[in-house]
């Protein structure tokens, strides 16, 4: 390839010195500059190469209209009377309305995560508690759907706020759809759930929905505050946060069922206990379970800088030792650093402490199951108790 292979046909004017003397030979008057296409200036070897890739010759040159990029959606001409369309479709609401194609776009992040189901413990709990509460079929169907929607939407937001990499063994939705689209999808689903719940025409359901969504965001807000300000909460404050955040969606499901049931059974204490048990067990397993590490990454709570239940115990067991606090501050992804932190918590007895709390809460839950079984009597008492016990059987320290 020669030195002139990529030379533009537009002449470059000669340079002059500061006193106006030409530094090169004089050239004819400069031609008028014109925009050049790629075809005009690339070398002949490049033209041949491009022609072979495109499967056709580059001669004659393409016209400007042929070089225009095509749009993914066919373009339509503007309407002859735009004001008329604006008036009918937007002002008077006589348009075709929201399309299924647009709905699919908004629900993309939600449907992505929903298509990779987790343990689905909430649906199992609804089925078990329904043996006691005997909720009408239509109401139960809507409540089950609403709880699933809210749970998945809340996970979409959690993954953004926690800077997570994996959820249920696959990349988090915001790493595929982007943060903005994922948050919008989650918020959209919150309101779709409210819309679905309104079909039951029970004002009590609206009150329950509002209260527990407020609790959910209160719990999440405190969790984020402690993480971002590097503030270690007391155990009591942490358990209150868990009751709001994790317990909120458990409680929402059962309270909605109770509002649609004709039976006078209060299952909320049992649900609150299960919510605490679920979160403390999850905190424990996040730092100890190889199975959970494969799904979310090893000791992911340390990378998030999260003050989880065992972490809080280890810090408060020796407040003068700032090693663990500094590990959280770094939000490290280094497995060796995280292994060191886990070993430190092991030496402080933090995992033994969290395992004991799991056993105690599980025992309390089983006691409440017996009480609910007795209160339900022959109408689903044993069936509901067996269903809840089956769920609790899975909630053990490995």
The structural domains of the chain, with segments of one domain joined by +, span 108-393
* Mean pLDDT, range 213-217, rounded to an integer: 97
pLDDT digits (tens, 9 = 90+) for 226-251: 999 999 999 999 999 999 999 999 99
The separation between CA 126 and the C-alpha centre of its own chain, rounded to angstroms, equals: 23
Higher pLDDT, 88 or 4: 88
pLDDT at 292: 65
pLDDT at 67: 44
The yes or no reply on domain 108-393 and CATH 3.30.70.270 is no
Higher pLDDT, 397 or 385: 385
pLDDT at 55: 44
Summary mean pLDDT of the chain: 85
Contact 338, 299 (CB under 8 A): yes
Indicate the burial class of 60 (C-beta count within 10 angstroms; 0-12, 13-18, 19 or more). Answer: exposed
- Structure tokens given for 52: 């072979």
Residues 6+ apart with CB under 8 A from 181: 108, 109
pLDDT at 321: 96
Work out the percent of the chain whose per-residue pLDDT is above 70.
77
pLDDT at 137: 97
pLDDT range class, residue 334, cuts 50, 70, 90? very high
pLDDT at 181 over 50: yes
Neighbours of 368 (CB within 10 A): 18
Higher pLDDT, 292 or 393: 393
- 5: DSSP letter: T
pLDDT digits (tens, 9 = 90+) for 101-154: 999 999 999 999 999 988 788 899 999 999 999 999 999 999 999 999 999 999
> What contacts 24+ positions apart, CB below 8 Å, involve 161-164?
161/220, 161/224, 162/304, 162/306, 163/304, 163/331, 164/296, 164/300, 164/304
Indicate the burial class of 98 (C-beta count within 10 angstroms; 0-12, 13-18, 19 or more). Answer: exposed
Indicate the burial class of 67 (C-beta count within 10 angstroms; 0-12, 13-18, 19 or more). Answer: exposed
Work out the percent of the chain whose per-residue pLDDT is above 90.
67
What distances in angstroms separate CA 108 from CA 158, 192, 195, one per listed residue?
17, 14, 19
The span from the CA of 248 to the CA of 266, in Å, is: 16
pLDDT at 39: 45
Higher pLDDT, 9 or 273: 273
Model confidence pTM above 0.75: yes
- Structure tokens given for 79: 């309407």
Angle 137-161/179-197 helices, nearest 10 degrees?
160
């Amino acid at each position: 390839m020669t030195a002139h292979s990529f030379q533009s046909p537009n002449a470059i004017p000669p340079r002059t010195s500061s006193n106006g003397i030409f530094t090169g030979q004089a050239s004819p008057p400069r031609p008028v500059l014109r925009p050049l296409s790629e075809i005009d200036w690339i070398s002949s070897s490049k033209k041949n190469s491009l022609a072979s890739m495109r499967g056709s010759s580059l001669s004659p040159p393409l016209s400007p209209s042929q070089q225009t990029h095509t749009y993914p959606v066919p373009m339509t001409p503007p309407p002859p009377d735009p004001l008329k369309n604006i008036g009918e479709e937007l002002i008077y609401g006589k348009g075709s309305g929201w399309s299924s194609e647009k709905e699919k776009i908004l629900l993309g992040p939600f449907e992505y995560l929903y298509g990779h189901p987790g343990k689905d413990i909430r649906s199992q709990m609804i089925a078990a508690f329904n043996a006691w509460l005997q909720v009408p079929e239509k109401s139960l169907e809507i409540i089950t759907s609403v709880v699933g929607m809210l749970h998945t939407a809340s996970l979409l937001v959690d993954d953004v706020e926690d800077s997570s990499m994996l959820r249920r063994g696959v990349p988090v939705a915001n790493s595929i759809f982007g943060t903005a689209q994922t948050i919008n999808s989650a918020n959209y689903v919150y309101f779709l759930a409210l819309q679905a719940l309104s079909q039951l025409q029970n004002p009590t359901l609206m009150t329950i929905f509002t209260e527990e969504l407020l609790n959910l965001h209160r719990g999440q807000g405190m969790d984020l505050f402690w993480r971002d300000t590097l503030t270690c909460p007391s155990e009591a404050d942490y358990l209150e946060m868990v009751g709001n955040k994790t317990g909120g969606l458990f409680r929402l499901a059962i309270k909605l069922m109770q509002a649609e049931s004709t039976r006078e059974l209060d299952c909320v204490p049992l649900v609150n206990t299960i919510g605490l048990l679920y979160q403390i067990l999850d905190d424990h397993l996040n730092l100890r379970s190889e199975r959970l590490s494969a799904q979310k990454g090893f000791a992911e709570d340390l990378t998030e800088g999260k003050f989880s239940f065992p972490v809080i115990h280890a810090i408060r067991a020796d407040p003068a030792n700032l090693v663990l606090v500094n590990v959280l501050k770094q939000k490290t992804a280094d497995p060796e650093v995280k292994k060191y932190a886990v070993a430190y918590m092991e030496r402080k007895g933090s995992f033994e402490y969290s395992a004991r709390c799991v056993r105690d809460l599980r025992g309390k839950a089983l006691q409440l199951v017996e009480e609910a079984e007795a209160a339900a009597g022959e109408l689903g008492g044993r069936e509901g108790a067996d269903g809840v016990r089956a769920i609790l059987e899975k909630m053990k320290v490995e």
